[in-house]
Structure 1
Amino acid sequence: MSMFDPGSFAPKHFAFAFADKVATVTLNRPERKNPLTFESYAELRDMFRDLVYAPDVKAVVITGAGGNFCSGGDVHEIIGPLTGMDMTGLLAFTRMTGDLVKAMRNCPQPIIAAVDGVCAGAGAILAMASDIRFGTPAAKTAFLFTRVGLAGADMGACAILPRIIGHGRAADLLFSGRSFSAEEGERWGFFNRVVDADALQGEAAAYAAMLANGPTFAHGMTKNQLDMEWAMPIETAIEAEAQAQAICMQTRDFERAYHGFVAKQRPTFAGD
């Protein structure tokens, strides 16, 4: 099995840093509010797929440069070319973008989205597909697909967004394409936390560090079960959790926690 080396990874279409078990992905076209291109979509998809084979990476932060998160698909580099494609090419594109969300959900590492400023279209999807979302008061999020004549059904939005904020609120956003404020987003449960812009990166990094230094095998199991159980009846889900928990009870981290409790000391987890 080939491993992914985060220390030597040098993407062409976004910035990447790895330190202290945390990978930080920064969309870095600030002059255009960090839009995505065909190439950056594919490179992000491949990176999240490869993180399955990156045991050194325990958590991921995704953010944007220059006071904005992501303005979605680049109007000139994606939207324009799409109007000239045939159905085969269009379906290849929509499947590729969907594969990015699948890769984000399938990687075992928790993903924290640190959102400032514009978070629109596919940018809103990137935040939605993350596990934890931190925003700033300036965050403006919009699933604006209907604004360009498309369905709100994009990259899993009709499946995932209602599970985060509820069906009625998701329907409003996906039909209208309107933006919602950070205050609305936090009230609805889209944002886990809203912090000042100058504290955003530090808060996201601290949360990622907390996860990275926790029982990371168990975190991966939690993420897996959160997704797997969407389509399970309650009885099946309870059985799946019984099996998942029995597996976690065989880890050394579980043993470390017990010995730490007995000794009245905080355990040092190692992810095994």
Structure 2
Amino acid sequence: MLFDSHAHISDRRFDKDRRGLYQQIRDAGMVVVMDVGSDLATSLDVTRTAEENDFCYAVVGCHPHEAKDFDEDQLTLIKGLTTKPKVKAIGEIGLDYHYDFSDRESQRFWFARQVQLAVELGMPLVIHDREAHEDVLGILRENGAFSRDRKARFPARPDGTPDARVLLHCYSGSAQMAEQYVKLGATISIAGPVTFRNARRAREVVETLDLMHLLVETDAPYLAPEPFRGRTNIPPYVEHTARKVAEIKGLAYEEVALQTCRNGCRFFNIEL
């Protein structure tokens, strides 16, 4: 039972053998793959893929790389997609100060607008944060992502703490900041780099947080875990990330797979 909390299976590089990819996902016993958009066109693609495949659910929004070309008309169309039953979150949204493919003013503006939309709709948020930790946290706070009213819209987590339904995808920050996010009501998603030999920070995050606050992901087709590093990533490889989490925490792999699946279903409001 595996739940990939973040992938891009509608990506064009899978077009050569899309049926084969979907069969691999089913053969691996995966129960859910979250297919994530990065602009209006890909948000339409992931919505279509989700509607055509029982294991797939969609996340729609504008990635910071695309912020310079985004506008209110596109945001209105994104909002329209959220009415579809298999669209489960707004994302992947946030800031990317590593590549700066969009100017930072545009990144911050459209990040804030999409946080506001998710707060208005009561939808989960999937966050991209690369080398912008303080600004990401600031914009989330300033726009109500961790407000008392937002948390009141969602059931409490199993430990009784409030849930803000904010997911830090492919988390790359410190364990200390991860703890701060969890206290605010966020969830942390662990990706393939935790399997890399030099992944000290990612391992510290896994060691520090309770399993109920973690998800696992591939970010396919990117960031394949060991032993597939450097190759095209696919959702079944999330098993290797889950196994590394189990190793770090001294737990059985089956326990990690089951609990992260439960965590994902709770976060995205998916009933299996």
TM-score by length of 2: 0.35
TM, length-normalised to structure 1: 0.35
Which one has the largest radius of gyration?
A: 1
